[in-house]
Structure 1
Amino acid sequence: MQAITLSLSNISFTYPTAVDPLFTRVNCTFPQSWTAVLGDNGIGKSTLMAIARGKLRPDSGQVSPNNLVLRYCPQDIAVQPVNLEDFAADWQTETIRLRERLSIRDDWAYRYDTLSGGEQKRLQIACALVQKPDVLILDEPTNHVDEPTQQAIIEVMRNYRGIGIVVSHDVTLIDATCTRCVMFERKHIGGQNVTEVNTYQGNYSQAKEQRQCHDRTALEQLAGTRREVKRLEAAQSQRFTKVQQAEAAKRHGERISPKDHDARNRRNLAKMTGLDAGVSRSYAQLNGRLAKARQSGEAISTASKRYDGNIWMDITPSAKHELIRLEPGVIPFDKQLRDKPLSVASQSGDTIRLALPQGSMTSEGLKIPLISVGPLDHLVITGPNGAGKSTLVSAMIDAAANVPALVIRQNTTAADADRAITLLHGLSPVDTSMVLSAYAQLNADPDRLLHGEVVSPGELRKLLLCLGLVRKPQLIVMDEPTNHLDLNSKTAFARTLGSYPGALIIVSHDDWFVRQLTAANGSH
């Protein structure tokens, strides 16, 4: 394949109903290899990708070249690939190899609606790749997938030789596949917040270090400029005093007595040497330098202030010695579940991990050891899709029926969002203030919420958590809490949940988030 590059030049875009542009004069290039596109939820990543695909027209700017074969794999797993039937009938060597890499069974293409989320995602990616596009855009390809599926996706991404663009918050995926990162960043410049799009070389971990270095340099430059402004202001004040003294001397000179020869000589000397004019001229020059220093400071862009997930929780843990107790044995499968067994594999500090072994499956259900959850215990349940996590969590919730609990499921709906907004508007002013303050701490915008904007799945999870904390639960259960969350929100979520004073049960495939959560809980 001939070396090609996709370029977006001076791209600006404003939604028809918006007052301000979403972004202005964005410049970025995408060469062959994988580039990650990162940024907060709602900051404009998907919009820029829609412009790159030709689905949206920018206010200004251009995308070039415009003759590339481009394929897009959407975040929504319910979107069935348009070439699904062609893929089902394609038995070329390369297609067979792709099926093997993604462990796609022959019958999957004929029953797409019955597949799991991870299976649907693998089919979406395979159908895009089989068309051999010049440009392949993957939007959150590892949402809802387990670790084996994630590794399979990583393998096929590494084997792709075109221009790859992945919009993702999955650090493991980005670090394993990407050589460049295009980051949407909220910056503060000239007294207002703006969106900048900057490119960094390397994977996420490397790009993060570069961005932090740039942010530190910008802060140092701003601090230096502010010191210079203060110095010039002090000098300006002193010279202004001298100007006033010179003007006073002029006025005083008009009243000099003819017999006061010394005063008359000082006045004549000032006129001869131009001292009066020199003071005024020096003052004017200083004004120019001060204006230039202030202008320089206003041109420095620094990272906008972020909240960090430090939510104050007035929650008292349960006085019970044990909130959940499951005796050793077999948990019967739910009617629609066919899971593999789960057992305690490791323990790390105050955070207990429940992980999958390779055996212990029965035909009747999920085989477990004794599981006991105390009022302060934090548990993380991991394992492949279909491995028994849902069965175990359901049993644990049933066992904690008498404990004040907050349960947030993996898949939320529009009805959940409507109920959450209704609940928010029904709170007392004090509780409303607490919820909105906590919501902001989770890297969310309360103003957008109050203005009636549609709540995204990621923002809904934040809102549900904040609403639930008002009820002071002694147990929180969250299934895949980081789905649809950007990296900054994940960090804030980890800090909040890690500091939760009650019992916590988390189901997650996101190893990066689990490490953040463990660190926030003080484990090592």
Structure 2
Amino acid sequence: MATTLVVRHLSFSHPGAAEPLFDDVDCSLPAGWTALLGDNGCGKTTLARIVCGLLTPTRGSVSPAPSTFVSAYCEQECTREPANLEEFRDDWSAPSVALRDTLGIGDDWPYRFATLSGGERKRLQVACALFANPDVLVLDEPTNHVDTATREAIAHAMRACNSIGVLVSHDVELIDATCAQCIMFERRHVRGRNRTVLERYAGGYTKAQQTRALRRAEVADQLEAAQHAQQSIAQAQERRRAMMDAATARKHGGWKIDRLDHDARNTHKWNEKQADKASAAAYRALGSRLAAAQRAVESITTDAKRYDGAIAVDIEPSARREPAHVDAGVLRFDGGAPAGSGDAVSELVVDGWHWHTQAIPDAQTDGADAVIRVPRLSVGPRDHIGIDGANGTGKSTVVRALLTSLDTELPALVINQIPSEDEQTRLLTQLQGLSNAERPRVLSAYAQLNADPDRLMAGEPLSPGQAQKLALCLGLLRKPQLIVLDEPTNHLDLHSKQALARFLHTYLGALVVVSHDRWFLDEACGCAV
């Protein structure tokens, strides 16, 4: 197995797509971890799957060929059991035990994958991927659903891996902690059209962003200088045109020479003819210089336009004093009715808009009977509630209890952290069925979340992040008075997270958000309008 994978002239097009997802791109993936970065739907996962041999490119090659090495791909979603789950479950060798200890894998977890929380499933999924010890390992959003402690554990396990590692992630801290280089998918405006290019930057995310900012500043300076040169030549050409027009005016309406003074008349004609030739030659030269300057301006690639507007939603908060509430007591993690008060393994601490779940020290209860202790919970018609806490401490259980209390007539939008397998098909079908008045509203909101509506309407497959954005935009048509989002930042690129946080901050209805990103909760829920 070579120590570096080389991608040459790679192109990929979805069947029936109007344009390639990416075209003629090159990159090198050395031993160690490389981060693939870019907006949702730009092709990061597609490239990663091509590298693993799970997809065939439209054109180009990966060297050495994927058929010549062992690869493993840890997918974004954690709805399906890992293929090698049983092998990992039955292996108690030193490396396997070390992985269990590092990632905090419970001995019973491999036996009850379906009952695990999203964060617990993700930990087990990552453990199985690392346990396979492949030549090439792709981790696609490995810190989705997980808390801070688990993120640090995953980073520790990744640093111990000796494979050629490809990390698809928007997790800045994880990238900084593990990656030696970043490859960014960037949309560039080149000669009147947008295309995807790959740019390599040394170091983790923070260093890569600093280098990228310097490069963009250099390009901006180059563009400004080229535009200034183009403008100066255009002005010089215009002055030359004015001089030629003035000379023509003088010739046809101007100076009087005695008609009998043939020598003077001939001299004047000869001088005018030479002046006309010189002016025309100078004008043509300026035209050539102007065309060259215009080509120079067009050859400078700039970032494609981003949408930074606001999502407009015309809603009125609920007239109900308390759209959602939960009585004080205990809630079973599996959704069943508690047999009694029970011994809680965790508790919910309420501090204004911030609700925090935390484990109770030394509490021990079988996973099937685990409960969380909660005070009385109330969500007002304009309240913005942010919920965080460690994996497995009952955040989703609290959300489920709140949803159970809703009046069926209350217009609500609920987006779960783990989508159903047919979600993409359902969303696209719903989009196609919209009226001519509704569809532009959805596409406009979708664009404001840093997504490309043209590709959406072209029918290209949706990435998980794109599907999450579309679900929100379609749901807003119902003018919800309550929005509940469970881990909405999973799968979203940084620009999309910022756009979503801005929208939620200005949303006038009730909001409940579960997230491990405290900055996101602060922006969406803290000091809400």
The bucket for the TM-score relative to the shorter chain is 0.7 to 0.9
What's the secondary structure of 1:343's corresponding residue? strand
Aligned-partner residue type, residue 21 of structure 1 = P
- The yes-or-no answer on 1:182 pairing with 2:183 is yes
Cα distance in 1 for residues equivalent to 2:397 and 2:288 = 72
Given that 1:479 and 1:507 are in contact with CA atoms closer than 8 Å, whether structure 2 keeps it comes out as yes
Given that 1:180 and 1:199 are in contact with CA atoms closer than 8 Å, whether structure 2 keeps it comes out as yes
Deviation string, structure 1 residues 268-305 (Cα, Å, up to 9, x no partner) = 4456xx54332222112111111111101111111111
- The yes-or-no answer on 1:341 pairing with 2:372 is no
Cα distance in 2 for residues equivalent to 1:149 and 1:356 = 16
What's the secondary structure of 2:180's corresponding residue? strand
CA RMSD of aligned residues (A): 3.4
Cα distance in 2 for residues equivalent to 1:69 and 1:497 = 44
Mapping of residues 390-429 of structure 1, within 5 Å: 390-401=396-407, 403-413=410-420, 415-417=422-424, 419-421=426-428, 423-424=430-431, 427-429=434-436
Cα distance in 2 for residues equivalent to 1:518 and 1:171 = 22
Mapping of residues 506-517 of structure 1, within 5 Å: 506-511=513-518, 513-517=520-524
Question: How far 1:164 sits from its partner (Å)?
Answer: 1.7
Q: 1:408 to 1:499 in 2, by over 3 A?
A: same
Mapping of residues 147-186 of structure 1, within 5 Å: 147-186=148-187
Q: 1:498 to 1:176 in 2, by over 3 A?
A: farther
Q: 1:21 to 1:422 in 2, by over 3 A?
A: closer
Deviates more, 1:161-170 or 1:240-249: 240-249
Given that 1:342 and 1:354 are in contact with CA atoms closer than 8 Å, whether structure 2 keeps it comes out as no
Given that 1:380 and 1:507 are in contact with CA atoms closer than 8 Å, whether structure 2 keeps it comes out as yes
What's the secondary structure of 2:34's corresponding residue? strand
What's the secondary structure of 1:356's corresponding residue? strand
Mapping of residues 456-471 of structure 1, within 5 Å: 456-471=463-478
Q: 1:112 to 1:380 in 2, by over 3 A?
A: closer
Deviation string, structure 1 residues 129-180 (Cα, Å, up to 9, x no partner) = 3343333211121223344432321210122233221011223322332232
Question: How far 1:396 sits from its partner (Å)?
Answer: 2.2
1:382 corresponding residue in structure 2: 388
Question: How far 1:425 sits from its partner (Å)?
Answer: 5.0
Given that 2:17 and 2:459 are in contact with CA atoms closer than 8 Å, whether structure 1 keeps it comes out as no
1:281 corresponding residue in structure 2: 281
Aligned-partner residue type, residue 288 of structure 1 = S
Deviates more, 1:90-99 or 1:287-296: 90-99
1:259 corresponding residue in structure 2: 261
What's the secondary structure of 1:382's corresponding residue? strand
Question: How far 1:106 sits from its partner (Å)?
Answer: 4.3
Q: 1:216 to 1:80 in 2, by over 3 A?
A: same
Deviates more, 1:455-464 or 1:174-183: 455-464
Cα distance in 1 for residues equivalent to 2:126 and 2:278 = 75
- The yes-or-no answer on 1:439 pairing with 2:451 is no
Cα distance in 1 for residues equivalent to 2:90 and 2:40 = 38
- The yes-or-no answer on 1:307 pairing with 2:314 is no
Question: How far 1:497 sits from its partner (Å)?
Answer: 1.2
Q: 1:101 to 1:337 in 2, by over 3 A?
A: farther
Cα distance in 2 for residues equivalent to 1:419 and 1:14 = 23
Q: 1:316 to 1:86 in 2, by over 3 A?
A: closer
What's the secondary structure of 2:437's corresponding residue? helix
Question: How far 1:23 sits from its partner (Å)?
Answer: 1.8
Question: How far 1:205 sits from its partner (Å)?
Answer: 2.9
Given that 1:499 and 1:520 are in contact with CA atoms closer than 8 Å, whether structure 2 keeps it comes out as no
- The yes-or-no answer on 1:25 pairing with 2:24 is yes
- The yes-or-no answer on 1:476 pairing with 2:483 is yes
Mapping of residues 6-405 of structure 1, within 5 Å: 6-66=5-65, 67-109=68-110, 112=113, 115-245=116-246, 257-259=259-261, 264-269=266-271, 274-308=274-308, 310-331=310-331, 334-335=334-335, 340-344=345-349, 346=351, 352-359=353-360, 365-401=371-407, 403-405=410-412
Given that 1:229 and 1:290 are in contact with CA atoms closer than 8 Å, whether structure 2 keeps it comes out as yes
Aligned length: 515
TM-score norm. by structure 2 comes to 0.85
Cα distance in 2 for residues equivalent to 1:414 and 1:158 = 32
Aligned-partner residue type, residue 313 of structure 2 = M
What's the secondary structure of 2:346's corresponding residue? coil
Q: 1:36 to 1:456 in 2, by over 3 A?
A: closer
Cα distance in 2 for residues equivalent to 1:136 and 1:419 = 32
Cα distance in 2 for residues equivalent to 1:141 and 1:113 = 18
Given that 1:253 and 1:264 are in contact with CA atoms closer than 8 Å, whether structure 2 keeps it comes out as no
Question: How far 1:422 sits from its partner (Å)?
Answer: 5.2
What's the secondary structure of 1:381's corresponding residue? strand
Deviates more, 1:280-289 or 1:98-107: 98-107
Given that 1:6 and 1:31 are in contact with CA atoms closer than 8 Å, whether structure 2 keeps it comes out as yes
Aligned-partner residue type, residue 72 of structure 1 = Y
What's the secondary structure of 1:357's corresponding residue? strand
Provide structure 2 residue ranges, at least 5 long, that are not aligned to the other structure.
339-343
Aligned-partner residue type, residue 418 of structure 2 = N
Deviates more, 1:25-34 or 1:498-507: 25-34
Deviates more, 1:183-192 or 1:275-284: 275-284
Q: 1:386 to 1:399 in 2, by over 3 A?
A: same
Question: How far 1:321 sits from its partner (Å)?
Answer: 4.8
Question: How far 1:505 sits from its partner (Å)?
Answer: 0.5
Question: How far 1:75 sits from its partner (Å)?
Answer: 2.5
Question: How far 1:252 sits from its partner (Å)?
Answer: 8.0
Cα distance in 2 for residues equivalent to 1:176 and 1:70 = 23
Q: 1:389 to 1:88 in 2, by over 3 A?
A: closer
Aligned-partner residue type, residue 284 of structure 1 = R
What's the secondary structure of 2:144's corresponding residue? coil
Given that 1:38 and 1:168 are in contact with CA atoms closer than 8 Å, whether structure 2 keeps it comes out as yes
Deviates more, 1:67-76 or 1:174-183: 67-76
Aligned-partner residue type, residue 122 of structure 2 = K
Q: 1:24 to 1:469 in 2, by over 3 A?
A: closer
Cα distance in 1 for residues equivalent to 2:156 and 2:479 = 44
Identity fraction in percent: 46
Provide structure 1 residue ranges, at least 5 long, that are not aligned to the other structure.
none
Given that 1:309 and 1:493 are in contact with CA atoms closer than 8 Å, whether structure 2 keeps it comes out as no
Q: 1:364 to 1:51 in 2, by over 3 A?
A: closer
Cα distance in 2 for residues equivalent to 1:341 and 1:87 = 29
Question: How far 1:392 sits from its partner (Å)?
Answer: 1.6
Given that 1:340 and 1:388 are in contact with CA atoms closer than 8 Å, whether structure 2 keeps it comes out as no
Aligned-partner residue type, residue 279 of structure 1 = S
Deviation string, structure 1 residues 353-411 (Cα, Å, up to 9, x no partner) = 21123429798843223433333221111123331222222232334426432222223
